[in-house]
Amino acid sequence: METKKILVLCTGNSCRSQIAEGYLRLFAGEKSEVYSAGIETHGVNPKAIAVMKEDGIDISGHTSNNIDEYGDITFDYVITVCDNAKEHCPYFPGKAQKFHYNFPDPAKATGTEEEVMEEFRRVRGMIKEYCKDFVMERNDLIN
């Protein structure tokens, strides 16, 4: 059986799309090839790496990629995780099914270090649930 190619798209490919990539890899496993990209590249946010590590997932090796790098890949699913990415999402030829969920940007959180980390954890929880549901709703992704 052929693996499904999933692209998670965000504005800067630093937080939300990186977290989603980590969870989709976990839940879809060998049934998928998961990529993430941004309209711009801001580098992987250290706080995103830290909150994923708390949940046992290492995304420290992830890179921040620009959508232009993936022009030659035919995706099955494209998930935009912020409204900005949805509005500026390039046209993908082929059969890519598009999905969208506007997650809050934890990088915009303010307050004490602990308050900011709590926002990262809250958004991580939302993305984890979304990714788990996304995989469970697709027979071609269930391990």
Q: Rounded to an integer, what distance in angstroms lies between the CA atom of residue 115 and that of residue 120?
A: 9
Q: Can 82 be counted among the known catalytic residues?
A: yes
Catalytic, out of 89, 109, 116, 117: 89
Distances (CA, A) of 75 to 16, 52, 60, 89: 19, 25, 24, 13
Q: Using the 8-state DSSP alphabet, how is residue 4 labeled?
A: E
Domains, the chain, with CATH or none: 4-136 (3.40.50.2300)
Angle of helix 113-136 relative to helix 16-28, nearest 10 degrees, comes to 40
The kind and range of the H/E element at 5 are: strand 4-10
Catalytic, out of 82, 123, 131, 135: 82
- Which pLDDT tens digits describe the chain residue by residue (143 residues)? 689 999 999 989 999 999 999 999 999 999 999 999 998 898 999 999 999 999 999 999 999 999 989 988 999 999 999 988 888 776 666 788 999 999 999 999 999 999 999 999 999 999 999 999 999 999 888 65
The pTM assigned to this predicted structure is 0.93
Residue 86: what pLDDT?
Answer: 82
Q: Can 131 be counted among the known catalytic residues?
A: no
Q: Can 15 be counted among the known catalytic residues?
A: no
Catalytic, out of 6, 7, 9, 10: 10
